């Protein structure tokens, strides 16, 4: 059975089923905002060492925060078919969570463009989590990055989204 690609239902496929970058040139630029989250689970002793600023590689949290911001700005070079966007705001928060134990990671990304910033927010939390792992792996190699997810987004044709 062959699939009919004459009227593509997926925006990133052309009429022959080939991957393509979506043409957003006819869309008006609007304010787009997205929030994503992730978490990294570790032992209580690793969390305490990071909190005390005693990790062997130095400033774990500052480096992870900066890596997340830089990653958001490079999303179109990392994810095929993503549009390069002029980001006006990228904030990355790493909050200690003794109950996990570990860190809750959150990224907020904003632009005024023809397409949304969900991928930029998701990339930011992913790379922040990976960097936190890299900076603390000398303390613990069994850390686990978990639950990378979009929390909310506003703007655009598809409307607003809020995770329940």
82: DSSP letter? P
Cβ-proximal residues to 115 (8 Å cutoff; 6+ apart), any chain = 22, 24, 27, 32, 83, 85, 156
Q: Which residue in 63, 64, 156, 164 sits closest to 105, CA to CA? A: 64
Q: Is 12 annotated as a binding residue?
A: no
Q: Does the annotation flag 81 for ligand binding?
A: yes
Q: How far apart are CA 106 and CA 123, in angstroms?
A: 11
Our answer to whether residue 134 is catalytic in this structure is yes
Query: Catalytic pick from 4, 14, 97, 134?
Result: 134
Supply 43's token pair. Answer: 């032992």
Evaluate whether 117 touches 85 at the Cβ level (below 8 Å). yes
Q: How far apart are CA 107 and CA 85, in angstroms?
A: 16
130 marked ligand binding residue: no
Q: Per the annotation, does 120 bind a ligand?
A: yes
Residue 119 is labelled as binding a ligand: yes
Please give the Cα distance from 156 to 115 (Å, whole number): 7
Rg of the chain over Cα atoms, rounded to whole angstroms, equals: 19
Closest C-alpha to 102, from 37, 45, 151: 45
In the annotated binding site, the residues are 81-83, 119-120
Q: Which residues are catalytic?
A: 134
Q: Which residues are annotated as a binding site for substrate?
A: 81-83, 119-120
């Amino acid at each position: 059975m062959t699939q009919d690609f004459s009227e593509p239902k997926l925006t990133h496929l052309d009429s022959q089923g080939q991957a393509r970058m979506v043409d957003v040139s006819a869309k008006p630029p609007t304010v787009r905002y997205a929030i994503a989250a992730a978490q990294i689970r570790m032992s209580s002793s690793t969390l305490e060492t990071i909190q005390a600023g005693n990790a062997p590689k130095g400033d774990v949290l500052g480096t992870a925060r900066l890596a997340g911001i830089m990653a958001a700005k490079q999303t179109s070079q990392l994810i095929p078919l993503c549009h390069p966007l002029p980001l006006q705001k990228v904030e990355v928060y790493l909050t200690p969570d003794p109950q996990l134990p570990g860190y809750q990671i959150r990224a907020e990304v904003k632009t005024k463009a023809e397409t949304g910033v969900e991928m930029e927010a998701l990339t930011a939390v992913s790379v922040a989590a990976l960097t936190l792992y890299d900076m603390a792996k000398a303390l613990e190699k069994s850390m686990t990055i978990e639950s990378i997810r979009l929390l909310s987004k506003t703007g655009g044709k598809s409307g607003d989204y809020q995770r329940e």
